[in-house]
Amino acid sequence: MSNTKVFILDGGSLVIDGFHVYWNKGPGGEVRFPVYSVLIDHADGLYLFDSGFDYDHVMAVLPFEKPQQTREQTLLGAIEKAGYRAEDINYVINSHYHFDHCGGNKHLKEACTVCHANEFGQCKCPQPFEVLGYSDMTFHPDMQREKLRREGKEIPVSPDSDIWTPKVELLTGNQEIAKGMHLIETPGHTAGHYSLLIELANRRPMLFTADACYTRKGFDEELIPSFHLDPVKAVQSVRRLKDVALKTNAEVFVSHDLEQFGQYKTAPAYYE
Amino acid sequence: MSNTKVFILDGGSLVIDGFHVYWNKGPGGEVRFPVYSVLIDHADGLYLFDSGFDYDHVMAVLPFEKPQQTREQTLLGAIEKAGYRAEDINYVINSHYHFDHCGGNKHLKEACTVCHANEFGQCKCPQPFEVLGYSDMTFHPDMQREKLRREGKEIPVSPDSDIWTPKVELLTGNQEIAKGMHLIETPGHTAGHYSLLIELANRRPMLFTADACYTRKGFDEELIPSFHLDPVKAVQSVRRLKDVALKTNAEVFVSHDLEQFGQYKTAPAYYE
């Protein structure tokens, strides 16, 4: 049995305002930030944590975020660069369903979609201030069912649930989803947000905060981003992650910090 | 018995970013906005709703908000301009305890301080992202008690509560605090926020939203400001105010809209 390998897949970049990076703190002004996914080659299967943004979606719905994404930075391009095929991915785990974390889900037709149960509910009935965040729901079973309905096609129904395809698995609580892979509840940014801790054979554990922490400074100073559902829970989640990092001696990988991202190894290089 | 008179007291202006006025919407850039208090001459007494900002406090703690305030725009100057004396005010009601709504409280030594019970608790133990908002607590009984302690003076204790002076009355729920004066719970911006509806003899009721709605556009489009404790409740509160305005045919007075403010009558002129 080979060691678990972790690939960071560069997914291009977007622009937001400094007041969005550091809520009510700033400074303001355009900030370009990286978007990435994490591919985990584990003995139990091939996992993807988040799937980046879809360039066409951003250009159509949020062009002011000025997406930059080369062919190699698309999800399919990045998976290929890491030496894998999209159809071999068994599970796509989304930290949450904001468009820059699930934009590639639509390409993973064979994978089981895994997320927090609260997120699955919220993304279909967002608060008015969450509508743009949850704007790329094309992969969602309900949307696919609706599409079939519009096209006059038959809608398959599984015997034990009304969710048919893609396969969906909803989780609550902290979960060791595979040996050494721990999902940690970090709500606040959204209703059901998960961060991911991965234990590896030859190095410190890797703690992927996802959007519970955009930047290293946010992690250190407990500054949350402006996009959130519950800022009180968001601050608690930063503290939870700091506690996890301390107890496990994990290296912290924040989600949207250009300077930090420059220090990460990206695919085809990997951590193990 | 004379009619109730309502005076709008111009309290000067501050600057924040457009992303603070319209959370996650903007556009960004400096926005100068008015701050005002409301003096109500009612058969039951003289009431003040909010008390503006203290220039020295803002310059010391938040100078980046670039306060502008003439002598006439200080709370004492504005009360005088309306033809009253600060010591005649019986009740100061604060929509909430952000520094630009309670900065003049310290001058109202004879008045009973009225606010929502949740606000009174929260302002002493704010979330980290609320610290600047709740930075002017000089009027708070606990702070005054602490000051006496530092000065080695005796601390009076009332027999039925540990709050001694200024007199404090804590409320919960919607309340008709005097005939035709209704406090309406509008939490979200802060833990315990009140808006105020005043019925008058010769005109439509006046609905003072306070910071549940900074601007008319925010009211119309249900856009909340970036400063908040619970954005979900904040949106609900905007909807509650829209409902109240509809049912009572009230004229809506938002808190921080320079264009709207230009259309308000300010003291010594008044509404009745």
Region of residue B115 (phi > 0: left; psi between -120 and 50: alpha; otherwise: beta): beta
Q: Residue B168's pLDDT is what?
A: 85
Q: How far is B16 from chain A (nearest CA, A)?
A: 10
- A181 pLDDT exceeds 60? yes
Confidence grade of residue B1 (pLDDT, cut at 50, 70, 90): low
**What letter does residue A151 receive in the DSSP assignment?**
T
B20:A23 CB<8 A? no
Average pLDDT, chain B: 92
Helix H segments across chain B?
A: 18-21, 55-61, 75-82, 99-102, 117-122, 141-150, 216-221, 231-248, 258-261
E strand intervals along chain B:
5-17, 30-42, 45-49, 91-93, 112-116, 168-171, 175-178, 181-185, 194-198, 206-210, 251-254
For B12, phi then psi, to 5°, come to 95, -160
Q: CB–CB of B129 and A227 under 8 A?
A: no
Comparing CB atoms, the residue among B28, B128, B232 nearest residue A17 is: B28
Q: Does residue A243 surpass a pLDDT of 80?
A: yes
Collect all residues from B whose CB is shorter than 8 A from any CB in A. Answer: 17, 19-20, 23-24, 26, 28-29, 127-129, 132, 222, 224, 226-232, 235
C-alpha to C-alpha distance for A174 and A186, rounded to whole angstroms:
9
**Is A129's CB within 8 Å of B228's CB?**
no
CB A53 within 8 A of CB A11: yes
Shortest CA gap B21–chain A (Å): 11
pLDDT at A238 over 70: yes
Instruction: Give the residue-averaged pLDDT of A219-236.
Output: 97
Residues from chain A that touch B231, judged by Cβ atoms under 8 A, are 127, 129, 228-231
Residue in B17, B24, B28 nearest the CB of A129: B24
Sign of CA dihedral B120, B125, B130, B136: positive
User: What is the per-residue pLDDT for B148?
Assistant: 73
- Over residues B99-151, the pLDDT tens digits come to 999 999 999 988 999 999 999 989 988 999 999 999 998 888 777 777 777 88
Q: Under a CB-based contact definition with an 8 Å cutoff, are residues B124 and B162 in contact?
A: no
Give the A-side interface with B, CB within 8 Å: 17, 19-20, 23-24, 26, 28-29, 127-129, 132, 222, 224, 226-232, 235
Residues of chain B contacting residue A20, judged by C-beta atoms under 8 Å apart? 19, 24
Taking Cα atoms as reference points, which of B234, B135, B218 lies closest to residue B185?
A: B234
Percent with pLDDT over 70 in chain A: 95
* Interchain CB contacts (distance < 8 Å): A and B: 59
List B271's β-bridge partners, or say none: B6
Asked whether the predicted pLDDT for residue B50 surpasses 80, the reply is: yes
The share of chain B scoring above pLDDT 70, in percent, equals 95
When CB atoms are compared, the residue of A24, A127, A229 closest to B129 is A24
Residue B159 pLDDT greater than 70, yes or no: no
Q: Among A261, A124, A248, A132, which residue's Cα sits nearest to residue A196? A: A248
Give yes or no for a contact between B38 and A47, defined as CB atoms under 8 angstroms apart.
no
Average pLDDT over residues B91-95: 97
Query: Is a pLDDT exceeding 90 seen at residue B268?
Result: yes
pLDDT at A160 over 50: no
Tokens of B138: 């000089």
Taking an 8 Å cut-off on Cβ atoms, the answer to whether A232 and B228 are in contact is: no
Q: Which helix (H) or strand (E) holds A39?
A: strand A30-42
Range in A3-17, B37-51, B113-127, B180-194 with the lowest mean pLDDT: B113-127
- The tokens for B79 are 């009360």
Does residue A10 have a pLDDT over 90? yes
Which of A26, A127, A235 is opposite residue B128, by nearest beta carbon?
A235
Kindly compute the dihedral angle of the four CA atoms of residues A20, A25, A31, A33, in this order, to the nearest 10 degrees: -60
- Residue A271, pLDDT score: 98
Q: Which domains does chain B have, with CATH numbers?
A: 5-178 (3.60.15.10)
Neighbours of B255 (CB within 10 A): 26
| Inter-residue contact A137 to A97 (CB < 8 Å) | yes
Shortest alpha-carbon distance between residue A215 and chain B (Å): 17
ipTM score above 0.85: no
Of B23, B230, B232, the CB nearest to A226: B23
User: Which of the residues B41, B50, B100, B211 is marked catalytic?
Assistant: B100
By CA distance, what is A62's nearest residue in B? B25
User: Is the model more confident about A110 or about A46?
Assistant: A46
Lowest mean pLDDT among A122-126, B32-36, B237-241: A122-126
- The pLDDT value recorded for residue A158 is 53
List chain A residues with CB under 8 Å of B17. 19, 26, 28
What's residue B124's pLDDT? 84
Checking if the pLDDT of B170 tops 80, the result is yes
Q: Is B50 a catalytic residue?
A: no
Tokens found for residue B233: 């409740």
Residues of B in contact with A127 (CB under 8 A): 231-232, 235
Q: Which of A28, A132, A231 sits opposite B129 (nearest CB)?
A: A231
A chain contacts of residue B232, beta-carbon cutoff 8 Å: 127, 229-230
Contacts of B230 in chain A (CB under 8 A): 230-232
* Distance from the A244 Cα atom to the nearest Cα atom in chain B, whole angstroms: 21
Helices (H), A107-211: 117-122, 141-150
**Can you tell me the mean pLDDT for A17-45?**
95
Percent pLDDT > 90 in chain B is 82
Per-residue pLDDT tens over the stretch A54-94: 999 999 999 999 999 999 999 999 999 999 999 999 999 99
Which pLDDT score, from 0 to 100, does residue B141 have? 74
